[in-house]
Amino acid sequence: MTYITCGSRLELGCGMDHVLETSSPYETAAECNETGATVTLHIAGRAGTPIRLTKFLAYHYGTEDSGKSNAVGTSLDQAVARGFTALLAEQEENVAQFWASADVELEGDPATQQVIRWNNFQLMQASARVHGHGIGARGLTGRSYEGHYFWDTEIYVLPFLTYTAPDAARAVLKFRYDMLPQARARAVELGHRGATFPWRTINGNEASAYYAAGTAQYHINADIAYALNKYVEISGDNEFLSRYGAEILVETARFWLDLGFFSNRRKGKFCINGVTGPDEYNAVVDNNYFTNLMAQENLRLAAKVVGALDPDARARLVSRTGLEPDEVVAWTEAADRMYLPYDARLDVHPQDDSFLDKELWDFESTPEENYPLLLHYHPLNLYRAQIIKQADTLLAMFLMNGHFSADEKKRNFDYYDPITTHDSSLSVCIQSIIASEIGYSAKAIDYFNFAAAMDLSDIGGNVKHGAHVASIGGTWMALIYGFAGLRDGGGKISFRPRLPRDWDRLRFPLMIRGRRIRVSIDHEETVYRLEVGDAIEIMHEGERLRLRPHAPEARRPTTRSQPVAKPGPGAVDPAIPDDTA
Amino acid sequence: MTYITCGSRLELGCGMDHVLETSSPYETAAECNETGATVTLHIAGRAGTPIRLTKFLAYHYGTEDSGKSNAVGTSLDQAVARGFTALLAEQEENVAQFWASADVELEGDPATQQVIRWNNFQLMQASARVHGHGIGARGLTGRSYEGHYFWDTEIYVLPFLTYTAPDAARAVLKFRYDMLPQARARAVELGHRGATFPWRTINGNEASAYYAAGTAQYHINADIAYALNKYVEISGDNEFLSRYGAEILVETARFWLDLGFFSNRRKGKFCINGVTGPDEYNAVVDNNYFTNLMAQENLRLAAKVVGALDPDARARLVSRTGLEPDEVVAWTEAADRMYLPYDARLDVHPQDDSFLDKELWDFESTPEENYPLLLHYHPLNLYRAQIIKQADTLLAMFLMNGHFSADEKKRNFDYYDPITTHDSSLSVCIQSIIASEIGYSAKAIDYFNFAAAMDLSDIGGNVKHGAHVASIGGTWMALIYGFAGLRDGGGKISFRPRLPRDWDRLRFPLMIRGRRIRVSIDHEETVYRLEVGDAIEIMHEGERLRLRPHAPEARRPTTRSQPVAKPGPGAVDPAIPDDTA
């Protein structure tokens, strides 16, 4: 059977085959019409004589007339030829491989262990067949968001894939690369140079209906650039960079240069107006801090990668993009002169030009049942107030971690955390990571638990529409970047473990440039073990460690396990020194 | 026949009756079904014997089950009883009355005289039956905007009605008053106190689909307050004010106080964020100058009117609105502390907080066929740039004329005029008035001609969808406020005529507090004649004149007829002194 969707013209082919094993006589009849297919078996069964029916199913999909759905027959033939037992063994092997490189073990809290395993299983399911496909916002678990892909994949799911299944991470990024033609066309359509990726899509075309929280979220371009750079740094897959990544970087850098401008009124700084950041309670704003910072990184990465390409790769890139040398100069200038708002009175980075001048939200008069606010208030009321749906400036501070001191993070956390509703599932995981770093232990574990249990405990009451795949990826991040304190800027791996007091041990593997290391953290020591691959250098609490095969390195914490700190100015645990990771 | 619209549940009743006068034998048959009605006459006509058939038609409409459509039968019966000749005479009298109080005579330019008469005829048609109805954006001439009413009525059509047909002006404002229950409900729905009128409506409910250029245009509330105050000042109809107007003022003042807030970061000033001003190329902005200034006036008018009511009227108002004395204090405080942005660097009033920080529009690269821009660019591209669809800050400077020196108007005109596309039909008439005042004669006449000929010359290529009723009202304003220099702040009538050089004479009547005066302007003198009513005081070029019945006052211009001045800094005709009217 082949189906075609009305709007996006995607073709789904599905087929079924049967192997019947019986010594009883039987007849088969098959019928296929426009709405379904039926296979009828009449078996004259005899008592005591076994009947075994094995059903084989195959699905393929692709764009209309791509011919992909024709592969269903071949796949079925191959499956039948191999037989169920062989297929089962292959699946068992695949799953075992997944857990070997992805399992996060948690001792001392079996309920949370169960949640983490369930979550990671969802990630496996969602990413197992990403070659040529994206990861929908609900994976394969539900119809919410109609299977569309967002920035969630790059910012929330890719870290997990990069560190546990680099091939899958590559496939996701390759899929984005394959959408580059539509992204170029979209830029032209919007009157811009370069390429701009759709905010939500299933086939590369923009599918969002509300531009203020859709197309205006141009930051997705910088998110993709960031994620592909992270993937290359951690996997060492420079071939992907020169073959695909560089082209994405060039086209997105072009887009940013075109979208913004050098403002005379801001002393020649590069300003980007009329954008929406990750926080959808403040839409179509000027100089969103997150967007400007990430665009700066996008421009810098593009300039750096173009400069580092070998002559052949560079020639290929120039022929594919028409790149001119002065473009790279302009990107660097825009990056160097990027306007990054700072408010001296509050000593924080304003989320955007107007954010701090908005009225404070009246939380006291907001009943519990009015959350999430977007379902109960007109967007104008939300846009008019200092109210945040999800981590925005703080997400920038996590992603571009090395740009900020812990003190800066703390000041901004103290300002933004109380006005953030976490009405998006993408928020608490990030908040947990920053809270871990700045020593707000209680807040870190609270936010982690909220993120981890979102689906199994059905916190939002909406898991019937599907699992929150990005939040699950974020939960993994809260474990690894938060409690284990992983930092990986520039591909340099460091840890600063901060194990929650109620847990006994956290143990997880990471794939880094072909190695697999396993980190085991308890309250007495952290042990780093190189399980696969050659020696590699990492940092632990600022100390350089060289990991060699089969020679685990154990280190005792420099600070003792943390008492629970309440967040808020002055409430920081004084035992945790201010420090950047 | 009765029809009911699906969405807004409006009921239209229409009926037809016939009077047949003939000596020939005839038969009649009538048939009525779900989709139409037919009357068939079979007449055995004889050569030389006259047959006269008179058709009478009647229409009534109202909300569903209002019973208004039942009046069709009564109306038809009355019409038939009076007969065609009597009805015709009545219509002729009505039309003659209209022209007596509304005709604008222009000597020396017959083509423009024709345009003006055609235009004013459209205003008569659109406003002849406003009792219980509004004036749609296209009057009765076309389907564009689906018969919906906007702020156009109050700001662009009411001046004409107030000065030529005060009863019609009152009816329009009474119709707004009748929508107050829905405006109160809308405020509740949006989480605000008081009342907020719909941006577009046909039955009192908000009918705009795109909130950024709809609901966010809260300024309509202040526009209504402004127009009703103007009507009361010019007509002297204080009964309307105490009976209806005060209640509108109270509810809209409440709304403004709730919408804005006293901002600590702006030294306790009253700020209004998240609004759209008249200019729809800059949407959902903070502290739109027009909105803040008009809201200030709204708050002040409310406080003033409440304070001036007699005890009975005040008691009625309190019982209808639950008004508390400290509310009035709060309105005055908000008005006194209203934040009115000013930019010292450019010495202009910024259209809103972010406007001057936006990128300049690249006019050179914008081909002529790309106008109106809204049909060719994504809203984000428009919102991101310093590009204006229609007079906004300049409209504020016209409406609140007395707040600004001519020099201020000139500076702001010089800044805003070059970046205004006039992609709205509501723009050039206002621009013409300001240009007249600041001595940009050529610009004033160019913009006037553009406004006047919009429909007859089909400038926008869209007159097939209906006449631009508001632009027609604006054309009248450009004549009377622009070239005749009428100013009427606080109900004080003054003139400062600036007759275009190519015209010989401009002559028009105005109804002011029961009087009718007729003003005749040529290049030698201006003559003021009181045609109806008691003596009245007016100002001419700063000189006080007391007009008495049948005693015309003639004055020679203090400045000679103007040479044509080109606009732009330094290009002002030096013969025209800077001056406020």
Q: pLDDT per residue over A159-188, tens digit each?
A: 999 999 999 999 999 999 999 999 999 999
Sheet strands (E) in A50-182: 51-63, 105-107
Residue B125 neighbours by CB under 8 Å, 6+ apart: B139, B140, B141
Determine which of A252-256, A556-560, B55-59, B363-367 has the lowest per-residue pLDDT on average: A556-560
Q: Which of helix, strand or coil describes residue B320?
A: helix
Rounded Cα–Cα distance for residues B581 and B577 (Å): 11
Q: How far is CA B170 from the centre of its chain?
A: 13
pLDDT at res. B459: 85
pLDDT for A281-328, tens place per residue? 999 999 999 999 999 999 999 999 999 999 999 999 999 999 999 999
Strand-strand pairing, B385-386 and B359-360: parallel
Where do you find CATH 1.50.10.10 in chain A? 105-484
A357 contacts in chain B (CB < 8 Å) = 263, 265-266, 271, 273, 286, 353
| Averaged pLDDT for residues A550-566 | 71
A216/B380 touch (CB, cutoff 8 Å), yes or no: yes
Q: Residue B398: what pLDDT?
A: 98
**In the prediction, which pLDDT does B461 show?**
87
Q: Which chain B residue has the Cα nearest residue A261? A: B359
List chain A residues with CB under 8 Å of B344. Answer: none
Contact B378 A274 (CB under 8 A): no
Alpha-carbon span B478 to B105, nearest angstrom:
14
Whole-prediction pTM? 0.92
Strand A553-555 and strand B37-43: the pairing is unpaired
Instruction: State pLDDT tens for residues B153-206.
Output: 999 999 999 999 999 999 999 999 999 999 999 999 999 999 999 999 998 999
pLDDT, greater one: A10 or A229: A229
Decide if B357 and A271 are in contact by the 8 Å CB cutoff: yes
> Which of B211, B273, B356 lies at the smallest CB-CB distance from A265?
B356
Is residue A501 pLDDT above 50, yes or no? yes
Distance CA A286, CA A227 (A): 24
Q: Which of A65-74, A525-534, B79-88, B314-323 comes out lowest in average pLDDT?
A: A65-74
Confidence class for position A459, pLDDT limits 50, 70, 90: confident
**Residue of chain B with shortest Cα separation from A267:** B357
Which of B216, B359, B378 has the CB atom closest to A380's CB atom?
B216
Region A226-243 average pLDDT = 98
Interface of A with B in 452-481 (CB under 8 A): none
Angstrom distance (rounded) from CA A560 to CA B271: 50
Average pLDDT, stretch B323-349?
A: 97
pLDDT at B559: 60
CB contact at 8 A, B497 and B526: yes
- Classify residue B337 as exposed, middle or buried by CB count within 10 Å of its CB (0-12, 13-18, 19+): middle
**Which tens digits make up the pLDDT trace of A344-386?**
999 999 999 999 999 999 999 999 999 999 999 999 999 999 9
Region B91-110 average pLDDT: 96
CA distance B581 to B576: 13
Q: Which of B265, B357, B379 sits opposite A286 (nearest CB)?
A: B357
The answer, yes or no, to whether residue A571 has pLDDT greater than 70, is: no
Q: Among residues 154-213 of chain B, which lie with CB inside 8 Å of chain A?
A: 190-191, 211-212
Give the architecture-level CATH label for domain A105-484: Alpha/alpha barrel (1.50)
Query: What's the gap between Cα B149 and its chain centre?
Result: 11
A193, A218, A354: best mutation site toward chain B, by most B Cβ within 10 Å? A354
Between the CA of residue B43 and those of A348, B24, B40, B47, what are the distances in Å? 91, 7, 10, 12
pLDDT at A391 (0 to 100)? 95
Strand B515-522's sheet: what is its strand order? B105-107, B505-512, B515-522, B526-532, B553-555
- Indicate if the pLDDT at residue B79 is higher than 90: yes
Task: Calculate mean pLDDT across residues B61-88.
Answer: 91
Closest residue by Cα to residue A455 from A139, A2, A130, A61 = A139
Residue span(s) of chain B under CATH 1.50.10.10 come to 107-341+379-384+425-489
Is the per-residue pLDDT at A35 higher than 90? no
B-facing residues of A in 119-138 (CB < 8 A) are none
Residue B473 has pLDDT above 80, yes or no: yes
Exposure of A154 in the CB half-sphere (CA atoms within 13 A): 24
Instruction: Report the residue of chain B nearest A218, measured CA to CA.
Output: B380
Stretch B361-369: mean pLDDT: 95
- A257 interfaces chain B, CB cutoff of 8 Å: no
At residue B576, the pLDDT reads 33
- At A131 the pLDDT is 82
Q: B544 CB near a chain A CB, below 8 Å?
A: no
More confident residue, B376 or B131: B376
Q: What is the ipTM of this complex?
A: 0.90
Looking at every residue in chain A, the average pLDDT score rounds to: 93
Which residues are CB-contacts of A110 (< 8 A; sequence separation ≥ 6)? none
Chain B hits for A215, CB-CB cut-off 8 Å, are 378, 380
- Chain A interface disruption, residue of B378, B381, B415, most A CBs within 10 A: B378
Taking alpha carbons only, the member of B525, B523, B528 closest to residue B493 is: B528
Average pLDDT over residues B234-240: 98
- Average pLDDT on A149-155 reads 95
- Residues of A acting as catalytic residues: 280
Residue B280 is a catalytic residue: yes
What is B107-341+379-384+425-489's CATH number?
1.50.10.10
Task: Say which residues have a Cβ less than 8 Å from residue B454's Cβ, sequence separation at least 6.
Answer: B425, B460, B463, B468, B471, B472, B475
| Mean pLDDT, rounded, of chain B | 93
